Amino acid sequence: MRHRRPPFPLLAALLLLGASACVHGTLPPPAPHGALPTEQHLRWHAREFYAFVHFNMNTFTGVEWGHGTEDPKRFHPTAFDADQWCELFAECGLTGVILTAKHHDGFCLWPSAFTEHDVQSSDWRGGEGDVVREVADACARHGLFFGVYISPWDRNNPLYGKDDDAYNDYFAGQLEELLGGYGEIAEVWFDGANGDRDDPAKHQEYDWQRFHDVVTRLQPDAVTCGPPYANMPIGVRWVGNEQGFADATQWSTYPMGVPERPAELNTGVEGADRWFPAESDVSIRSGWYWHPDSDDDVKSVEQLLDIWYRSVGHNTNLLLNFAVDRRGLVHENEAAALRAMTDVLKATFAHDLAQECTVDASHVRGDPSNDADRRRYGPGNVNDGDDGTYWSVDDEQRAAAVSLGFDGPTTFDRVVLREHVPLGQRVRAWNLEALVDGEWRTVFEGTTIGYRRVARFDAVTADGLRLNITDSAACPTISTLGVFRSPSGSR
């Protein structure tokens, strides 16, 4: 690779002068800023894209919300195969499965000691079946995490909305069965639905603190997805819609103990006191559950890619739902759409062009002539392939730039950015410039970054790329600046 002149002459001059206030040591890292993620949150962020599976009594009755009066014998998949699901998900790069273990109708996919409205009362597997067990075991075989969705609303239980304490005892007991009997559970998904919408008298007062205590006692490494008013400290929030789209401004912080406000859930709240990142959920077809007339209503590859870029690419995780059919299999149309979508993603992000670049920065934390400071905080950390390292600047610095120099004209249309979120989310505004025919041209402008932000724009051929942080709540910490080219070369 030939030597390229750094785009920041002032920094080059400082490097030659070698002026330093900390020659004998390394400046300490930036102080943490604002609410911080827990270790459980960091593991959750790294999962990025995984499967929701809606498969339960509703699959066999043809409704989205059951009534709790269904005959358990209606649940009878003819070719149930959890390995078929998990093999597909693992092949396509998804990281896990969250299963609807109990929906609003109260039917349990495991043999529960607390109800007869469960698989044990069906004829499937001769009454000896356990869907939760088979899916948990299949996830383990295929290297996927396992999570459970359990609805607190139970339309089958006569205690619901009539005796709050007694019903909460019932629900906590079922939660203990799920979390204590199936190995490691990575995520517990609590639906916030409560009672019949047309009958406020059936409202149930959930004991969220008790439910949280069950989770932390039996699955201390799990995160919970639930409403902000539930006050669950190691939690993630619903993104505020069921279309899978997160706002481009996406803060991972959010206040606890407040009502659900969809517009606010979709952006997060800067400076809030809790790390409460968003999870985007959407179904691959028109409904959450399988219906015989919806097999041809699966989303197109273009729609699915747009959802991915506006969820994972907007600093949220993507929970993509699969409506397993009455056979107990992921339908062929869903499988084909998922494979086509993830084939494009794999091709797009297979090769990071940034790792072949020279790199420089307008500022470096500490003394840029001090080898220890430059190794720890220098611009080379943004393209070293290690998310644990980061480029940073001095505490008072709120705006700075880092640039990549290509070894000749290079075409690209995707840029991946990451902040070092263990120290908090900081960046408020940034832009990307491409060096085209000797001139810097703006190709993208953004607001927040967070754990992962993907910029997509029409393909540009350039000799360099510059990330300008124009506003940050504290000195920026950027761990990744990746450059990619999609097969289509367009938005």
Condensed to tens digits (0 to 9), the pLDDT of residues 286-341 reads 999 999 999 999 999 999 999 999 999 999 999 999 999 999 999 999 999 999 99
Length of the chain: 491
- Give me the pLDDT at residue 491, please: 52
What confidence tens digit (pLDDT) does each residue in 36-92 have? Answer: 999 999 999 999 999 999 999 999 999 999 999 999 999 999 999 999 999 999 999
pLDDT band at 464 (very low <50, low <70, confident <90, very high): very high
* Strands annotated E in 175-274: 187-190, 223-225, 235-238
What confidence tens digit (pLDDT) does each residue in 213-242 have? Answer: 999 999 999 999 999 999 988 999 999 999
Angle at 13 between CA 11 and CA 14, to 5 degrees: 65
Could you tell me which residues are beta bridge partners of residue 67?
none
pLDDT band at 110 (very low <50, low <70, confident <90, very high): very high
pLDDT band at 412 (very low <50, low <70, confident <90, very high): very high
What is the pLDDT averaged over residues 146-155?
Answer: 97
Angle at 423 between CA 266 and CA 369, to 5 degrees: 130
212-218 — which CB contacts under 8 Å span 24+ positions?
214/172, 214/175, 214/176, 214/179, 215/175, 215/179, 215/188, 218/176, 218/179, 218/180
What 3-state DSSP class applies to 348? helix
Q: Taking 50 as the threshold, does the pLDDT of residue 15 lie above it?
A: no
- Give me the pLDDT at residue 348, please: 98
pLDDT band at 22 (very low <50, low <70, confident <90, very high): very low
> Tell me, what DSSP letter sits at residue 142?
T
> Tell me, what DSSP letter sits at residue 113?
T
What confidence tens digit (pLDDT) does each residue in 364-385 have? Answer: 999 878 899 889 999 999 999 9
Contacts of 45 (CB under 8 A, 6+ apart): 37, 277, 317, 421, 451, 452
- Give me the pLDDT at residue 212, please: 96
- Give me the pLDDT at residue 368, please: 78
- Give me the pLDDT at residue 474, please: 98
What confidence tens digit (pLDDT) does each residue in 417-441 have? Answer: 999 999 999 999 999 999 999 999 9
Distance CA 469, CA 409 (A): 24
| φ, ψ for residue 230, nearest 5 deg | -80, -15
Return mean pLDDT, the chain.
Answer: 93
Distance CA 155, CA 140 (A): 32
- Give me the pLDDT at residue 20, please: 37
Domains and CATH numbers, the chain: 39-348 (3.20.20.80), 351-484 (2.60.120.260)
What is the pLDDT averaged over residues 250-266?
Answer: 96
- Give me the pLDDT at residue 3, please: 34
* Lookup result for tokens 């985007």: 280
Distance CA 158, CA 365 (A): 63
- Give me the pLDDT at residue 488, please: 78
Q: Taking 50 as the threshold, does the pLDDT of residue 24 lie above it?
A: no
The whole-model pTM stands at: 0.93
- Give me the pLDDT at residue 2, please: 33
Q: Taking 70 as the threshold, does the pLDDT of residue 140 lie above it?
A: yes
- Give me the pLDDT at residue 337, please: 98
Q: Taking 70 as the threshold, does the pLDDT of residue 408 lie above it?
A: yes
What 3-state DSSP class applies to 30? coil
Percentage of the chain lying above the pLDDT 90 cut: 89
Percentage of the chain lying above the pLDDT 70 cut: 94
32 compared with 197, residue with greater pLDDT? 32
pLDDT band at 192 (very low <50, low <70, confident <90, very high): confident
What is the pLDDT averaged over residues 104-119?
Answer: 98
